[in-house]
Amino acid sequence: MYDTYPLRLAALFVVGILSGFINTVAGGGSFLTLPLLIFMGLPSAVANGTNRLGIFLQSLAGVGKFHSHGVFPWRFALIVSVPAVAGALLGAHWAVGMGDAAFKRWLALFMVAMTLVSLYKPKGVVLTEADYSPSRWAAITAAFFVIGLYGGFIQAGVGFLLLAGMALTGHDLVRGNAIKVFVVMVFTLFALVVFMVNGKIDYGLGIILGVGNVVGARLGASASVKGGNVFIRRFVTVMMLVFAVKLLWG
């Protein structure tokens, strides 16, 4: 089904490290790994499911690293994970039944869309949960449901949406990143089960990718706390456009 040539597997591991770092610092790392899995010969749905295995492992590592730095708002992260999981289950069910051609078109479209989202830098006001009105809680709930729906369907670029959604919460960028990684970990676990039940995961490639993701996530969490991701954002933007063109014209 796919090329097992050692250099390709080594490339998958290295890209996994880069992806794990990018996903933890900002978002969009799956725009590198998902097309790579497709180019290695996996059907789109299997590539989508296999990528989730790496995402879950990297998120688990990232959460642990953020927690060790003492910047993790556990209560809020748990609350917003609930609507995100509901959306992710719907999105994952949609994804497993989609054909290759349609999925590639959606992936290319979302690459371009997420490129624009990645340029947005939210400047939300500083709030505490005690300041939230019922209307703000409703907006947060709706936003995280939609984010989960997208994440369950395609995953790639969901970090950008989550960071943009932080403008509603009043959390700073460091805590926002910690919340993002936790929410992704939780809804990815549920989406992963959907892909597993439908036989849409290549466990061999997923483990290789996942080990690389874990290494990158631990590095990315430390870098996120220390600050600075302008280069990463620019790099991801360029790579997203390159892969979008490849998927549309390749």
Model confidence over 75-104: pLDDT tens digits? Answer: 888 999 999 999 999 999 988 887 777 877
Smallest Cα–Cα separation from 59: which of 75, 38, 34, 77? 77
Q: Give the model's pLDDT for residue 1.
A: 47
**Average pLDDT in the chain:** 78
* 1: in domain: no
* 174: in domain: yes
State the pTM of this model. Answer: 0.76
Residues whose CB falls within 8 Å of the CB of residue 35, separated by 6 or more in sequence, listed in order: 107, 243, 246, 247
How far is the C-alpha of 220 from the C-alpha of 139, rounded, in Å? 29
Smallest Cα–Cα separation from 109: which of 152, 150, 55, 159? 150
Instruction: With cut-offs at 50, 70 and 90, classify the pLDDT of residue 126.
Output: very low
Instruction: With cut-offs at 50, 70 and 90, classify the pLDDT of residue 106.
Output: confident
* 111: in domain: yes
How far is the C-alpha of 225 from the C-alpha of 167, rounded, in Å? 19
Question: Domain of 142?
Answer: 7-249
Q: Give the model's pLDDT for residue 108.
A: 73
Instruction: With cut-offs at 50, 70 and 90, classify the pLDDT of residue 197.
Output: very high
Q: What percent of the chain has pLDDT over 70?
A: 75
Q: Give the model's pLDDT for residue 13.
A: 92
* 76: in domain: yes
> What is the domain count for the chain?
1
Q: Span 216-238, mean pLDDT?
A: 64
* 26: in domain: yes
Instruction: With cut-offs at 50, 70 and 90, classify the pLDDT of residue 181.
Output: confident
Q: What is the pLDDT of residues 8-60, one digit of tens each?
A: 888 889 999 988 887 777 677 787 888 888 888 888 889 989 999 888 988 88
* 117: in domain: yes
* 103: in domain: yes
